[in-house]
Structure 1
């Protein structure tokens, strides 16, 4: 596997398709961590910031695939509000990730996580696992191999 020349953390800039102040409401940093990338999102993900959320997820997949595939961990610890559409966007990016040989998981430390409950109800927990902390997500990522 080749290593990307990313700095320790990468700030994901604003896309031209999103509202001009959406970056103030929703921020994100991408942190390389071994064979995984951790996407740290902060703020609100709602209808107003949905274009920014799509751009953030797209950028994270591109950065992860630049290293030949691997793991993308979406950390929602610092998200104040997460719409159902935002969860669906993560699920949609799982499909894209599979095509790029990228396994995606979510970190949500909140008890009775809404993300985990939705994925359980829809039967998608084996496809998009939710972990209570980054350590568990990284351990699971190192135990699986999304590459052929």
Structure 2
């Protein structure tokens, strides 16, 4: 008997307050609750128009996974994903450093390049098979590190002319 899938509950995320009606048609998500993981199945386009919904979806998923569960984000049904949406996922993984985040994409070539180039692999592990991810045991939490911080130039140093 597989204890990792002993309790499976499917939940479709509702529309959020103030959200235009067509946003939920452009990007949707289902959350599957398992004994060892929360699986977030995402469908559609995650772009500038749908980014607010994406952030709400992520916040809900991280809240559900906060009890020590792994969060698996399945992006196989995502047709477009902006760089900003990937960064939002990584930032939330940093904020919730006790939640191990795995991303599933059967053909991850572009996603893999973005995660690697942006230095986000420490928080987002990429996999090509959902079953393999769910069956793995949990790893220790990752260290917290700030990414994408803006640094003001030093105005106290005189320039030489």
TM-score if structure 1 supplies the norm length?
0.83
Structure with more helix by fraction: 1
Distance 1:130 1:7, change over 3 A: closer
Distance 1:18 1:92, change over 3 A: farther
1:58 aligns with 2:53: no
State the distance in 1 between where 2:71 and 2:104 align. 11
1:95 CA drift (Å): 1.2
Aligned to 1:36: 37
1:144 aligns with 2:139: yes
Out of 122, 135, 139, the position equivalent to 2:131 is 135
Runs of 4+ in 1 over 3 A off after TM superposition: none
- Paired residue secondary structure (1:9): strand
State the distance in 2 between where 1:137 and 1:7 align. 16
- Paired residue secondary structure (2:113): helix
Structure 1 residue runs of 5 or longer lacking an equivalent are: 1-5
Aligned to 2:14: 13
Q: Give 1:1-148 correspondences, 5 Å limit.
A: 8-65=9-66, 68-98=67-97, 101-112=98-109, 114-140=110-136, 142-146=137-141
Provide Cα deviations, 1:94-124, integer angstroms capped at 9, x if missing partner.
11221xx211110011152x22111112332
Contact 2:23 2:49 in 1 (8 A): yes
1:34 CA drift (Å): 2.5
Answer with 1 or 2: which has the greater Rg.
2
State the distance in 2 between where 1:123 and 1:35 align. 27
Highest relative contact order (Cα 8 Å, sep 6+), 1 or 2?
1
- Paired residue secondary structure (2:100): strand
